Amino acid sequence: MAMIPLSYSLRSLMVRKATTFATAFGIALVVFVFASVMMLGNGIKETLGASGREDTAIVMSKGAQAELGSTILQNQVGKIAQMGGVAQGENGPLAQAEMVVVITHPKVGTSGVANVTMRGMPDNWLKFRSEARIVAGREPKPGTREVVVGRAARGRFQGFDIGKSFAMVENQPFDVVGVFAAGGGSLESEVWGDLEVMRTMFDRPGLVSSVHVRLMTPGSLQAFKDGFKNDPQLREYEVERETKYYEKQANGLGQFISFLGYAIAVFFAVGAMIGAIITMYGAVATRQREIGTLRALGFSRISILLAFLFESLALSAMGGVIGVVAAMGMTTVKFSTMNFASWSEVVFRFVAKPGTFQWSILFAMAMGLVGGLLPAIRAARMSPIKAMRGSSRRRGWHPGRWLRWLRRPPRCSW
Amino acid sequence: MSDAQAEGKAADEAAKNPPPYRTQPESPAIVSLVGVGKTFFRGKEPVKVLDGLDLDVPEGSFEALMGPSGSGKSTLLNLIAGLDRPTRGKITVAGTDLTNASDRTLAKWRSQNIGFIFQAYNLMPVLTALQNVELPLLLTSLGGAERKKRAQTALRVVGLEDRMHHYPRQLSGGQEQRVAIARAIVNDPKIIVADEPTGDLDRQSADDILTLLEKLNKELKKTIFMVTHDPAASERASVQRRLDKGRLK
Ligand SMILES: Nc1ncnc2c1ncn2[C@@H]1O[C@H](COP(=O)(O)OP(=O)(O)OP(=O)(O)O)[C@@H](O)[C@H]1O
Ligand SMILES: [Mg+2]
């Protein structure tokens, strides 16, 4: 089949620059939203979902969505640590009970407050939490009110820096002595301190939130789980792999934000597609004589259809590229939001992955394809007799005409 | 049976048993219309434009068709060029029966047999002169280099080889029409149809175009069928015809 040269379609776009760019801009906007949502989704997964270890299990009370809502009796912790599948260290089984509370604390730079997760941990926690390390300052001394803040929280809340302090209970300030990193996840938005001190201060005698257990191998999870079935008290608890737990945490918020984002993107997409349809219908209307001539010369309906579809695809791809370039700018933006799973604030970034931009441009081209189809069909159905029409009057939609209409002198109606 | 169908049938009969005076044309007719009628519909109301029209155009002739506006000149030209089909009658052009040909067949046939010249030139504004002339060759199996060579040759015939890379907006009306003529001859069709080829041109450019058409007719042996309002243009043709109220005179 004979193809109408692609340059014909491309140059026809460039001839009507204003219309082309207006339409491409609409598509770019949609792609920008679309790509940003995808990148935010990636960011959320990276922040929340990348935490945890394959060979670590987390024990919480049944039905608790997160550590915050979970309670475990302190006197059961020993029994849990003794169960099958648990790895042994120099000083016995590798298990650690932790307590999680959320505090409301004033932010820096705004008058607002936000939630911060505080985590109490036993001595030697740095050994167990091998993903964590002190990046500034020093470790807190066990049994004191010394704490370390995650590097994402540092400086974002009042008193969250080395040498400063903040108080939850009057005259019992927490002293910040260091900053920790923990693999880039949501843990880096937390404050960590001594388990016993926090338990007293937050009045939770005899309770912890969760028990983290190092497994002998990642495959030992089932063996560890099985032990819980036989003990009536332990049956109140639930076991999950740490990586899985964090993934779930990420999904809740990730899905919520993605849903919102995609809803907005689809809403915009409808508008941009209507824009593309109007533009392409205009292009077909103004070029009736050209199309008729191509038909008269012997080009088939399919050739005409493809030429106009290609034009629409090129238009939307251009919009897609503009949108993606704008979205790349978002990778430098950071923002914080409430994580509804842990009721605390976490910081997100927009993270681009190799697929992000391909999908965004494909999305744009899908809009071009759908928007261009009806106009292209109209072009393909045009009779070659249109070539014979004498005058070259221009018809169809042109932004210049709208601008003139907008600038028309106002008429007084009374 | 409707009137139109009855007439159509009569025309078919006529085609099968041509009257004796038609059997010995001076030179073989390249265009042959027998009892051709064309009716358009404006809404439900039929508009009979051509009615029982017979026409033979011998190969190699240069014919001019005149007549008042609305008499159906363009309609007739469109039928001969295979852009439209008749309501009744039979049309044979360059050995092909166009009467009931499909759209697809007609398109292919046009690309091989007809060169078009339009009143408004109808060049693609976004393509250069050379690319415009090359367009019909895209419908052939020729390679890129050969297409370019032939397009250049066609442009040389119309005297515009120095304007190959100009866009239509950079050319005068007369030059645009010459590019259009190059496009019309580039794939060596037997017949060239022209609807008011000088209608948008000044006298001098019009004369140049007509001289060029004469040259195509005499030197390249093209059969030319030209619709015109201009008596001076009509003079240049070898045969003059008049269409009035749907009938040839
Ligand atoms: N597609 C169509 N639908 C309805 N009527 C048509 C159509 N095409 C042509 N006509 C009518 O047929 C008649 C003849 O039209 P045509 O264009 O053949 O005239 P013409 O002789 O070429 O006139 P002109 O010299 O002005 O170009 C006119 O009355 C016109 O309105
Ligand atoms: Mg006409």
* pLDDT, tens digit, 9 for 90 and up, residues A135-151: 999 999 999 999 999 98
* A293–B124 CB contact, under 8 Å: yes
Q: Which residue of A has its CA nearest to B184?
A: A297
The average pLDDT across B127-153 equals 96
The average pLDDT across B137-142 equals 94
Predicted confidence (pLDDT) at residue A391 exceeds the cutoff of 50:
no
Instruction: Assess A388–B contact: CB distance below 8 Å, yes or no.
Output: yes
Give the model's pLDDT for residue A112.
83
pLDDT band at residue A123 using 50, 70 and 90 as cut-offs: confident
Give the model's pLDDT for residue A183.
76
Between A110 and A302, residue with greater pLDDT: A302
Question: How close B10 gets to chain A, by Cα (Å)?
Answer: 28
Give the model's pLDDT for residue B21.
46
Predicted confidence (pLDDT) at residue A410 exceeds the cutoff of 70:
no
Lookup: tokens for A50: 């990348």
Instruction: Assess A158–B contact: CB distance below 8 Å, yes or no.
Output: no
Between B141 and A255, residue with greater pLDDT: B141
Mutate to test the pocket of ligand 1, among B44, B48, B74 (most ligand atoms within 8 A of CB): B74
Predicted confidence (pLDDT) at residue A409 exceeds the cutoff of 70:
no
Would you list the domain boundaries of chain A? 6-49+249-390, 63-235
Range list of H helices, A130-241: 195-201, 221-226
Predicted confidence (pLDDT) at residue A413 exceeds the cutoff of 90:
no
Q: Are B243 and B67 in contact (CB under 8 A)?
A: yes
Taking all residues of chain B, what is their mean pLDDT, rounded to a whole number? Answer: 90
Instruction: Name every chain B residue with its beta carbon within 8 A of the beta carbon of A290.
Output: 122, 124-125
Query: Does the beta carbon of B70 sit less than 6 angstroms from any atom of ligand 1?
Result: yes
pLDDT band at residue A386 using 50, 70 and 90 as cut-offs: confident
The average pLDDT across A358-378 equals 94
Give the model's pLDDT for residue B181.
97
Residue-by-residue DSSP string for B178-221: HHHHHHHHTT--SEEEEESTTTTS-HHHHHHHHHHHHHHHHHS-
Q: Whose CA is nearest to atom 10 of ligand 1?
A: B40
Predicted confidence (pLDDT) at residue A394 exceeds the cutoff of 50:
no
For residue A327, the CA-to-ligand 2 centroid distance in Å is 55
Taking all residues of chain A, what is their mean pLDDT, rounded to a whole number? Answer: 86
Q: Which amino acid, residue A102?
A: V
Give the model's pLDDT for residue B87.
95
pLDDT band at residue A399 using 50, 70 and 90 as cut-offs: low
Give the model's pLDDT for residue A129.
87
* Of A156, A162, A192, A157, the residue nearest A175 (C-alpha): A162
Atom of ligand 1 nearest to the CA of A388: 17
* Of B228, B219, B211, B199, the residue nearest B64 (C-alpha): B228
Domains recognised in chain B with CATH numbers: 60-84+100-248 (3.40.50.300)
The average pLDDT across A159-168 equals 92
Predicted confidence (pLDDT) at residue A111 exceeds the cutoff of 70:
yes
Using CA atoms, how far apart are residues A33 and A97, in angstroms rounded to an integer? 42
The average pLDDT across B103-111 equals 95
Instruction: Name every chain A residue with its beta carbon within 8 A of the beta carbon of B186.
Output: none
What is the percentage of chain A residues whose pLDDT exceeds 70?
90
Element holding A289 (H helix, E strand): helix A288-297
| Count of C-beta atoms within a 10 Å radius of residue A372 | 30
Give the model's pLDDT for residue A193.
95
Residue B94 zone, left/alpha/beta (φ > 0; ψ -120 to 50; rest): left
For residue B225, the CA-to-ligand 2 centroid distance in Å is 13
Distances (CA, A) of A82 to A74, A227, B140: 14, 10, 84
Predicted confidence (pLDDT) at residue B238 exceeds the cutoff of 50:
yes
- 3-state SS of chain B: helix, strand, coil percent to 5? 40, 25, 35
Q: Which residues make Cβ contacts (< 8 Å) with residue A187, sequence separation at least 6?
A: A51, A131, A132, A150
Q: For A226-283, how does the pLDDT look when each residue is reduced to its tens digit (9 = 90+)?
A: 888 888 888 889 999 988 888 787 777 777 877 888 888 888 899 889 989 999 999 9
Nearest to B139 among A5, A292, A299 (CB): A299
Using CA atoms, how far apart are residues A290 and A297, in angstroms rounded to an integer? 11
Q: Which amino acid, residue B117?
A: I
Q: Are A311 and B136 in contact (CB under 8 A)?
A: no
* A289–B124 CB contact, under 8 Å: no
The average pLDDT across A85-98 equals 89
Q: Are A226 and A319 in contact (CB under 8 A)?
A: no
The average pLDDT across A324-333 equals 89
Between B18 and B213, residue with greater pLDDT: B213
Between B63 and A391, residue with greater pLDDT: B63
Instruction: Name every chain B residue with its beta carbon within 8 A of the beta carbon of A389.
Output: 120
* B83–A384 CB contact, under 8 Å: yes
pLDDT band at residue B7 using 50, 70 and 90 as cut-offs: low
Give the model's pLDDT for residue A263.
87
Q: Are A31 and A361 in contact (CB under 8 A)?
A: yes
Using CA atoms, how far apart are residues A79 and A97, in angstroms rounded to an integer? 12
| Count of C-beta atoms within a 10 Å radius of residue B26 | 8
For residue B112, the CA-to-ligand 1 centroid distance in Å is 26
Give the model's pLDDT for residue A333.
82
